[in-house]
């Protein structure tokens, strides 16, 4: 079958790499793609927020399955347009995508279904928000309500930080909405499930590293590295997260007439074995998709396809007893301003346990150059996390790019458990 992937980051490269290995995949297209994806798929310039344009492309190229990578097209309702036209599509419609597009909506769903999460209040009035924050004191968490590409959350350890976060959000103008919630302590981890409106399939666990620098220092980023599985997500914690958070959420979404279809990425805080919801995302994480794809390989297409076709009940995800890790190589200055267009030397390895996924890259006159903040994801899979870590760092070190940097301690928490 011909397949179209929407998106152009490391997540989409990992998806394209996994899909291309599956014999079901004939022609693979990706919009817009990147230089690495171009080795697996035909990259096309397409406005992926415009459902009608995407549908036109689908019809013109006999596409039978569309995989939506990022959240923005989902929040725009691109999956609704495609499904209404009878195209098998992976990803929730606009109504269900609100689980990521509105933090206030997620809080409402948690309250309705009893899913444990931090206590919160939602504000549209800046003065009321400031008064609430002062009354609560720090530490406290301030979240912009809408999509903010991973940058809308401030975990403020001091009151001044929380007030500055409120100022920044309300400076966006009228209509700005903020969720202020209690600080949660514990260990963060992510749970990935695929749901088709009826059945649910557990796809794995992972842990991201959100801060830019070693030791979890520096500004928040989209993620500087990840590994799977996350040891804190024991079978017991996973079962509790499914029973207390994910299944009730899916039931509530179905009850409201917006059944959830796609991958639901639950960001969790775990303390004393009890999971609480931090946030939902309605797509695979980036870079968490890279480690899940590395572990699942070609079967990722079977699972995503079964989900899109409403046949998840008979689908399986077979995990080996293995570990995967990815190290993000970013441009100096990320998550702030970065230089683009810097030449990168990349020696491909023949080792099947290692893959360098591309995020912000492009090819200019045959030369690979940087084209974004997060640029490459050195990824490896092995029998132990330590072995996978050594392989991934070997690949990151081999990147010839003086303008790049990466954290040296990805996986520290799990590796430190011994």
Query: Which residues are near ligand GLY by CB under 6 A?
Result: 150, 208, 222-223, 281, 285-286, 288
**Of residues 252 and 286, the one with the C-beta less far from ligand GLY:** 286
CB of 23 to ligand GLY, least distance (A): 29
What distance in Å separates the CA atoms of residue 303 and residue 316, rounded to the nearest whole number?
A: 7
Strand partners of residue 155: 141
Q: Locate tokens 């799977």: which residue?
A: 228
Contact between 27 and 353 under an 8 Å Cβ cutoff? The reply is no
CB of 121 to ligand GLY, least distance (A): 24
Tell me whether the omega of the peptide bond preceding residue 298 falls within 30 degrees of 0, making it cis.
no
**Of residues 25 and 329, the one with the C-beta less far from ligand GLY:** 329
Q: Using CB atoms, what's the residue nearest to ligand GLY?
A: 223
The most distant pair of C-alpha atoms in the chain lies apart, rounded to whole Å, by: 59
CB of 263 to ligand GLY, least distance (A): 11
Q: Would you tell me how many other CB atoms lie within 10 Å of the CB of residue 1?
A: 15
Distances 389 to 43, 167, 210, 412 between C-alpha atoms, Å: 31, 40, 18, 10
Query: DSSP characters for 99-150?
Result: HHH-HHHHHHHHHHHT--B--EEEES-HHHHHHHHHHH-SSEEEEESS--TT
CB of 285 to ligand GLY, least distance (A): 4
CB of 221 to ligand GLY, least distance (A): 9
**Of residues 30 and 278, the one with the C-beta less far from ligand GLY:** 278
CB of 326 to ligand GLY, least distance (A): 10
Residue 69 CA to its chain's centroid (Å): 9
Alpha helices in 244-384 (DSSP H): 247-255, 288-296, 299-308
**Of residues 222 and 262, the one with the C-beta less far from ligand GLY:** 222
**Of residues 89 and 221, the one with the C-beta less far from ligand GLY:** 221
**Of residues 126 and 150, the one with the C-beta less far from ligand GLY:** 150
């Amino acid at each position: 079958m011909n397949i179209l992937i929407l998106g152009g980051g490391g997540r989409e490269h990992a998806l394209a790499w996994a899909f291309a290995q599956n014999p079901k995949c004939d022609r693979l297209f990706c919009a817009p793609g990147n230089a690495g994806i171009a080795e697996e798929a035909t990259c096309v310039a397409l406005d992926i927020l415009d459902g009608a344009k995407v549908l036109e492309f689908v019809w013109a190229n006999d596409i039978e399955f569309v995989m939506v990578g990022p959240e923005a097209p989902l929040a725009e309702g691109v999956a609704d347009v495609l499904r209404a036209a009878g195209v098998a599509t992976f990803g929730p419609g606009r109504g269900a995508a609100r689980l990521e597009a509105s933090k206030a909506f997620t809080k409402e769903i948690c309250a309705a279904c009893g899913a444990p999460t931090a206590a919160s209040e939602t504000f549209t009035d800046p003065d009321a928000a400031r008064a609430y924050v002062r009354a609560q004191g720090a530490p406290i968490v301030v979240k912009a309500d809408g999509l903010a590409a991973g940058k809308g959350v401030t975990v403020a350890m001091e009151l001044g930080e929380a007030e500055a976060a409120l100022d920044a959000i309300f400076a966006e103008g009228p209509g700005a909405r903020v969720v202020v919630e209690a600080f949660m302590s514990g260990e963060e981890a992510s749970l990935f499930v695929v749901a088709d409106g009826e059945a649910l399939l557990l796809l794995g666990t992972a842990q991201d590293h959100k801060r830019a620098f070693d030791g979890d220092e520096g500004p928040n980023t989209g993620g500087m590295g990840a590994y799977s599985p996350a040891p804190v997500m024991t079978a017991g914690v996973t079962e509790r997260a499914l029973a207390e958070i994910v299944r009730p959420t899916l039931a509530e979404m179905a009850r409201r007439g917006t059944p959830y279809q796609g991958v639901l990425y639950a960001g969790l805080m775990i303390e004393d074995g009890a999971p609480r919801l931090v946030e939902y995302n309605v797509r695979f994480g980036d870079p968490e998709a890279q480690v899940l794809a590395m572990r699942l390989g070609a079967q990722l297409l079977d699972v995503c396809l079964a989900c899109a076709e409403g046949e998840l009940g008979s689908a399986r995800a077979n995990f080996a007893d293995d570990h995967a890790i990815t190290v993000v190589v970013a441009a100096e200055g990320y998550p702030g301003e970065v230089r683009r267009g810097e030449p990168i030397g990349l020696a491909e390895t023949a080792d099947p346990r290692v893959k360098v996924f591309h995020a912000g890259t492009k090819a200019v006159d045959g030369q690979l150059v940087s084209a974004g903040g997060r640029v490459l994801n050195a990824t490896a899979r092995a029998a132990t996390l330590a072995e996978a870590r050594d392989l991934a760092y070997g690949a990151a070190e081999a990147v010839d790019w003086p303008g790049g940097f990466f954290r040296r301690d990805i996986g520290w928490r799990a590796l430190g458990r011994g």
